[in-house]
Chain A
Amino acid sequence: MADAALNPPGPRRPAPRATASAADVALTPDEKRAARRELRRNRFMAFLLTLPLLIFLSFAFIAPIGTMLFQSVYSPNVAELIPDTLDRLSDWDGQAIPDEETRTAFAYDLRQLFAERRSGRLGEELNRVLPGASSTVQGTARKLNEAEPEEVAARGAEMLSEFNAAWDSPEIWRALQRAGEVYTDRFFLTALDLERTPEGEVQARASARIYIDLYVKTLRMGLTITLLTVLLGYPLSFFLAHQPSGRANMLIIFVLLPFWTSLLVRTTAWIALLQTNGVVNSTLMAMGLISEPLTLLYTEFATILAMTHILLPFMVLPLYSVMKTIDPSYMRAAMSMGARPIRAWYSVYLPASLPGLSAGAMLVFIISVGYYITPALVGGTDGQMISNLIAFHMQQSNNWGLAAALGTLLLALILVIYFAFDRFVGASNIKLG
């Protein structure tokens, strides 16, 4: 179809060659113009063939990723709930508590929100900026609702102080102001375990470090898994690459079958193997090696073991396809000249197999860092990775802004790894089979 489009039918002069500059000398200006037009046409036709896919991907892929990036800095909820209060708070300096008028307006808004059953939403949003604020908001809102609207409109500020002393300190008002920001960096600060002081300075959050530790743990687990797949995969690929091709084709099935078997099937298999009364424990007990079943499932160990198994083909296949092309006589030559096997491997074979090794390592590392299913199923509490926390904030705590910020950071991390790899090794080295 490309060629159909690129070489239109009908009588015309011999096809002008876009790249032949030597021939230009012999062309008339008219012919040159025709050649240029032809080139433009060809480029346009080629582009046209990719256009449907580009349009499709902008809806199915680029727009969703863009939405996620946007969601990490955009949070209109509180601004929609209490627009008047935020308007008044915008000229407040953040030092003493806001003036009576502002507080009264807020009390009135809050009563209204409670009546519309939306004060819970405000409490939830506020709680993310100031832990514990949710119960203050809900408790006050309930009491305000018992009073007449006129009374709240008249002496709302006093009523706030009466119902909860928290309204007398500037802290909660600052939190309100902060939660009301439509475009905000607060999700990113939370995701990086930072916070803003009342003066607006960024500092390490006083409460425990959560997210940075989890990123570090995710990277550590990713590296462990990558290292394990190298240790298991490199010798195996070397062995397979040096088998007669008939036997190698048969043995590679043992790598391809797991590769093509559903991820859920392999995870299920590890659950069957590792659980308390599972195959591993009963075998070990039958052999008399242990007397009590070991706790294997729902641990970090289970996550690493299952993921090593799942990702090992991603290491073996690129390695094997590179090693197949290395002439075995190089190694033999080195050894016949007196090199020990280790030396021959290190100075001859390793450099030649490096493209496969780095491609496999990058694939395994990038995939493992973003993994969700296996840690969720076999990881228990200490085998969780950053993806699981993103899922938690999307599904359970409904903190979409924070989920988006964590996701953006993870995406940035993976892009950095990928571009570093592409820069130093070249991503076109990745081959599977």
Chain B
Amino acid sequence: MFRQWPAYFTFWHRAGARALAWFSFAVLFFLILPIVVIVPLSFNVEPFFSFTEGMLRLEPAAYSLRWYREIFENPNWMLAIRNSFVIGIAATIVATLLGTLAAVGMTSRYMPFKNLIMAVMLAPMIVPLIIMAAGMFFFYTRYNIAGTYFGIIMAHAALGIPFVMISVMATLSGFDRALYHAGLSLGATPVRAFMDITVPIIRPGVISGALFAFVTSFDEVVIVIFLAGPGQRTIPRQMFAGLREQINPTILAVATLLIAISVLFLISLELLRRRSERMRGITAT
């Protein structure tokens, strides 16, 4: 906590600070352990969810890639991977376009009914997924769009919109509009000034909003359970089915791949954050 103990620290103060550090490391361990454990288990040669003796002795024969091969040989998993990307990308495009446009309107000081409209736009974040899923199920079966890509993409876009809005609005609030007006005063048309000045500056916010929207869709499973037909199963839906029906380490292999994706995601988000700070003139510390 303190790099040098202050002079007024007694023995008990120091003990307390050490205990805090140990406790914090224990909590961090608790957070990361389940994710770390999955990775070696996915290379298990046996169809178990636990470490075999051979694995503990680090024998190469106890490890294999057979569960990874299984993913790529199983048409269900391949369909699920394809579906996850198709639905995720489509939902992201819809959410990003609508969300960015609305965020620009919402940050205008002329915007009427700002609080009410904001509440409506952010509501999909608070309403439990099971309730959204139930409502969409009743609504979609009535109009025969349950079990279609269209229905799931709509639902996922609605879920992603609050993230896009929050992210873009945050960037816009740090955007100095004098820059835009400077562009106008130098003779640019408003559209040109917007595209050449505003867009590059808010781009990190738009991209990180889009990433949030994609991950939201990629991770979402409740709505897919209720709305998707067998043709629209996504990766998490396939995992849910696997965990309920026959548990086998293919799921662990998929999980490991997903962990790798979230690591990539985390890195790109961090790069974006740095870029955004640079663009806005805040130097990274």
Contact = CB atoms under 8 A, between A and B. Distances in A.
Nearest to B112: A43
Contact of A271 (B49, B124, B139, B259): B49
A414 B128 contact: yes
B218 A262 contact: yes
Interface stretch (B57-65, B70-78, B99-107, B275-283): B99-107
Contact of B20 (A235, A253, A260): A235
Interface in B25-75: 27-28, 30-32, 34-35, 37-38, 41, 48-51
A83 interface: no
Given A65-B127, A245-B285, A268 B108 contact: no
Given A4-B191, A262-B236, A265-B255, A236 B28 contact: yes
Given A60-B154, A235-B24, A65 B184 contact: no
A183 interface: no
Interface stretch (A102-110, A150-158, A170-178, A276-284): A276-284
The size bracket of the interface on B is 35 or more
B162 to A, nearest CB: 10
B34 A372 contact: no
Nearest to A256: B266
Given A39-B110, A64-B136, A57 B161 contact: yes
Contact of A277 (B48, B157, B239, B243): B48
Contacts of B198: 1, 3
Contact of B50 (A68, A272, A341, A366): A272
Contacts of B191: 1, 4
A370 B128 contact: yes
B8 to A, nearest CB: 6
Contact of B134 (A66, A313, A373, A394): A394
Contacts of A261: 35, 258-259, 262
A341 B16 contact: yes
A321 to B, nearest CB: 12
A272 B49 CA distance: 5
Interface stretch (A29-37, A117-125, A402-410): A402-410
Interface string A238-267: 111011110000010111111011111111
Given A269-B255, A332-B6, A407-B130, A282 B24 contact: no
Contacts of A341: 13, 16
Contacts of A71: 138
Nearest to A243: B1
B137 A372 contact: no
Interface in B196-252: 198, 215, 218-219, 221-222, 225-226, 235-236, 239-240, 243-244, 247, 251-252
A135 to B, nearest CB: 29
B130 A239 contact: no
Contacts of B134: 68, 390, 394, 403-404, 407
A27 interface: no
A279 B37 contact: yes
B271 interface: no
Contact of B105 (A47, A66, A282, A371): A47
Contacts of A348: none
A351 interface: no
Given A254-B31, A264-B239, A63 B139 contact: yes
B49 A275 contact: yes
Nearest to B130: A387
Given A3-B190, A255-B28, A272-B41, A277 B262 contact: no
A54 to B, nearest CB: 7
B85 interface: no
A244 B1 CA distance: 9
A273 B262 contact: no
Q: Give the one of A61, A309, A336 with max B CB within 10 A.
A: A61
Interface in B101-129: 101-102, 104-112, 117, 120-121, 123-124, 126-129
Contacts of B149: none
B138 A309 contact: no
Contacts of B93: none
Contacts of B8: 335-336
A418 interface: yes
A377 B240 contact: yes
A43 B110 contact: yes
A188 interface: no
A67 interface: yes
Interface in A1-33: 1-9, 18
Interface string B164-179: 0000000000000100
A283 B177 CA distance: 60
A415 B32 CA distance: 33
Given A47-B105, A264-B239, A268-B239, A253 B51 contact: no
Given A46-B105, A410-B131, 13 more contacts: A1-B104, A18-B110, A47-B112, A48-B105, A54-B102, A57-B158, A64-B135, A71-B138, A239-B1, A239-B24, A257-B35, A272-B252, A400-B138
7 contacts: A43-B110, A49-B108, A57-B120, A263-B236, A278-B49, A390-B131, A411-B131
**Minimum-distance CB pairs A-B, first 3:** A370-B128, A49-B105, A4-B190
